[in-house]
Copies of this chain bind each other. A is one copy, B any other.
Amino acid sequence: MNDKRAIGIFDSGLGGLTVMKEIRKALPGENIYYLGDTKHVPYGSKSAATVTRLSSSNIEYLLKQNVKLIVVACNTSSALSLADLKKIFRVPMVGVVEPGAAGAVKASVSGRIGVIGTTGTVGSGAYRKAVKKLLPGARVYSKACPLFVPLVEEGWWDKKITGEICAEYLSELRKHRVDTLVLGCTHYPFLKKAIGNVMKGATLIDSAYETAHAVRALLAQKGILNTSGRKPAYRFYVTDAPEKFKKLGSSFLRYGIEKVKLLNID
């Protein structure tokens, strides 16, 4: 089957572009529409009710653009709202938490798994639940790292200070001797090197990569892959500050974003 409809991705801002980047790699023939809710970024500190309402608005807009599948690229939204969103909408939906958890379970030998993310994601316990569902005997240790997102956005990816902040946040997880660490936030892959230096020997799980492969598997299973072989189209929508998105987003995606449409949704 050939289904030319686009994949719809949304995130609270531009972090989800790391997920889009992996989806482009895994599915180079698919059209992709990306919506960044920059008027409400970040979702990490908001209540579950508000995150679900904002996520619903994003999905409604993408559905109007006739997408065939929704990727909830925001960890907070995946953690707090995905179960509710699946009840509200009938479109196939993939979050980032379950693929990340599955990747960790597959990689871990000792069953001692670490998870880092925003305060909202860690506080929800969603990764812990998803890991335990797959491997009930797993020991899951979590740590919220609220400085990592501004650190990435500041471009301080491999400064000396970055290493020290990583050491500070990750010291507990090292004590717990986790052999696998889930990067439970779309911004964190930019700190892979600094985190890897502190967590020597542990396997780092990039939820973006795992999610892209989950999306490919689901499209194949439903028989809705785009097999047209045509050059794919990418569209970008934001709810505020399109120029800033264009500039920072191009470096996140490693792709020159030319046009960003400003939406008036709430």
- Residues of A at under 8 Å CB distance from B? 38-41, 45-47, 50, 146-147, 149-151, 153-154, 156, 159-161, 164-165, 168, 240-241, 244, 266
Contacting pair B161 A150 (CB below 8 A)? no
- By beta carbon, the residue of chain B nearest A248 is B45
Q: Given A240-B47, A241-B46, do A153 and B146 touch, yes or no (CB 8 Å)?
A: yes
A-B contact pairs, 12 of them (CB 8 A): A38-B46, A39-B40, A41-B45, A45-B244, A47-B240, A50-B240, A146-B150, A147-B156, A150-B150, A159-B168, A160-B164, A161-B161
The answer for the CA separation of A151 and B151 in the assembled complex, in Å, is 11
Q: How many copies does the complex hold?
A: 2
- By beta carbon, the residue of chain B nearest A164 is B161
Q: Which residues of chain B are within 8 angstroms of A39 by Cβ–Cβ distance?
A: 40, 46, 50
Which of B47, B153, B244 is close to A241, meaning CB atoms less than 8 Å apart?
Answer: B47
The answer for the CA separation of A150 and B45 in the assembled complex, in Å, is 12
A177 to chain B, nearest CB (A): 24
Contacting pair A147 B150 (CB below 8 A)? yes
Q: Which residues of chain B are within 8 angstroms of A50 by Cβ–Cβ distance?
A: 39, 240-241
